[in-house]
Amino acid sequence: MTQTILVTHNDRRRLGTMLETMHAYGTERREHLNALEAVIEEAQGIDPTEVPHDVVTMNATVVMRDEDTGEKEVYTIVYPERADVSLNRISVLAPIGTAVLGCRVGDVAEVDVPSGRRRIRIERIRYQPERSEDYDL
């Protein structure tokens, strides 16, 4: 399934700066950085005030379903320094975080994780900062 990935101009800028810093200092595994970089390069930039309500943005809380097991998961996609799996905050650099960024409700993202390949359907967005006019998170 080919999908147009949407990323706000603010997120693109902040993620780009983060990636440059991490590449320079080697603070993260290179494949995670390259995967996120590829998503950002392919994504269509959009003004934060024009983001559709069904798009996964940074700091969005997303209900996802594993297409193979039916298991539901709820995560907030965050910058690495805010990641905390015990609070369901997953880093945008984690494979699932990278895979769902910019996707829309109903999209299925395929992602390689340590246990194998997963197909994750975006079921619902519980919170999207742009919808709440929280543009500076």
Q: Report the helix count and the strand count for the chain, using DSSP H and E.
A: 3, 7
Read off the pLDDT of residues 89-104 as tens digits, 9 standing for 90 and up. 999 999 999 999 999 9
Range of the domain at 50: 6-127
User: Is 113 domain-assigned?
Assistant: yes
Share the mean pLDDT of the chain.
Answer: 89
User: Is 1 domain-assigned?
Assistant: no
Share of the chain above pLDDT 90, in %: 62
User: Is 32 domain-assigned?
Assistant: yes
The per-residue pLDDT for 1 is: 44
The mean pLDDT value for 95-117 works out to 91
User: Is 136 domain-assigned?
Assistant: no
In this structure, the chain runs to a length of 137
- Using CA atoms, how far apart are residues 5 and 10, in angstroms rounded to an integer? 15
User: Is 95 domain-assigned?
Assistant: yes
Question: Any idea which of 22-31, 88-97, 104-113, 122-131 has the lowest mean pLDDT?
Answer: 22-31
Number of independent structural domains in the chain: 1
User: Is 137 domain-assigned?
Assistant: no
Burial category of 105 from C-beta neighbours within 10 Å (exposed 0-12, middle 13-18, buried 19 and up): middle
Quote the pTM value: 0.86
User: Is 40 domain-assigned?
Assistant: yes
